[in-house]
Amino acid sequence: MDKQVVRKSDGRSVIFYGFSASASVEPRPAADADPPPDAGLTEQLPGAGELRWNPVLREWVATAALRQDRTFFPPPGYCPLCPTREGSHETEIPRSDYEIVVFENRFPAFTPRSAGSLPEGDDLYAVAPARGVCEVVVYSPLHDATLTQLPERELRNLIDVWTDRYAELGALPYVEYVYVFENKGREIGVTLQHPHGQIYALPFVPPIPRRELDAAREHLARTGRCLFCDIVERERVGAETAESGSHHATRVVAENDGFVAFIPFFARWPYETHVYPRRHFGSLVDMTTGERAALANLLKTLLGQFDALFGRSLPYVMAMHQSPTDGLAHPYHHFHIEFYPPYRTADKLKYLAGVEAGAGQYLNDTNAEEKAAELRATADGGEASS
């Protein structure tokens, strides 16, 4: 993997990742030497974020007024994630071609260094700088592509990029959690169509991963086993039971030698799908070469099932949960990826309304076993229900 770092005129870094000898890689100026991980990261922009403590829910809320001005469905020909073509305007990516690119978000919720004054906090309402890094990961120069449509080898390359960013950002002294995610589709709130994901390097472990860690630690203390390994075993036993002709339905959607994808017993969304490694490890950097290939293979299969479900590109949130980078040991954590497609039928969205938003109590109007069967049917050439 070739990695080249260039600096934009506003000081933000752009990282070009290359994987083939034939790739079109333009030379950079000699002065553009690779900076250390946090060098060259922009100073906090006017209106950049702060953290405000919610003493009722005991969690931080990030505020970032400058994000109100972020790009919103630009007209054709003005996509900021496309390559910069000769004779055209300069995009966020100052080259005429690329394979995978990572750059610092122009409208970050978290920034590497804080400047200016913050509201005065106290024992009730604590305030802190929103120190961190927000990056955009551009999967392909093809504007109309999706992650589903990329060849498996390009998914494998993307896993290497995610791994590199986790290692580099996690090494920053103020970063305690590296969160890799993708918002896909207008229904999710995406404002740029070009295939891309994001990475937030956070100064704390966010609420959902924190709850997972607490549950995993307590399960290990009580049983001596990994909570996530137990879940994988239970789901795979269900799959083997179903294959033997038992009436028990399986929630497994796809699997290979390294990973298993399933709609969990406790799914909150109708087609919520989790991807767990069959071996216990905590983060991308712990994967073997074979496991990286297996993950690319399973993602290719699962994303294809999503799009085949209703015969169109299915929107989703992809959330990658890895071990914190807070310098502490978390042997009970188990790497996994969660997908939340928002549809409950071909033409009906699942909304988070009063019970979910106001009480935190999810209601799922569907059966996980039936929805898993629908996804499996797409791989078998069958038709999903609508």
- Give the integer Cα–Cα distance in Å for 368 and 360: 20
Q: Which of 194, 196, 219, 336 is catalytic?
A: 196
In the chain, DSSP assigns E strands to: 2-7, 13-18, 50-54, 59-63, 100-104, 127-129, 133-138, 177-184, 196-202, 252-255, 259-262, 273-277, 316-321, 336-340, 343-345, 348-349
Give CA angle at 340 (369, 270), nearest 5°: 30
Q: Tell me, yes or no, if 196 is annotated catalytic.
A: yes
Give CA angle at 150 (165, 298), nearest 5°: 75
Question: Which of 241, 225, 253, 280 is CA-nearest to residue 338?
Answer: 253
Ordered alpha helix ranges (H), 265-381: 289-309, 359, 368-379
- Give the integer Cα–Cα distance in Å for 336 and 279: 11
- Give the integer Cα–Cα distance in Å for 339 and 371: 14
Instruction: Name the β-bridge partners of 275.
Output: 261, 337
Question: Which of 165, 157, 159, 101 is CA-nearest to residue 133?
Answer: 165
Reading the block at residue 203, the tokens are: 């100064």
List the catalytic residues. 196
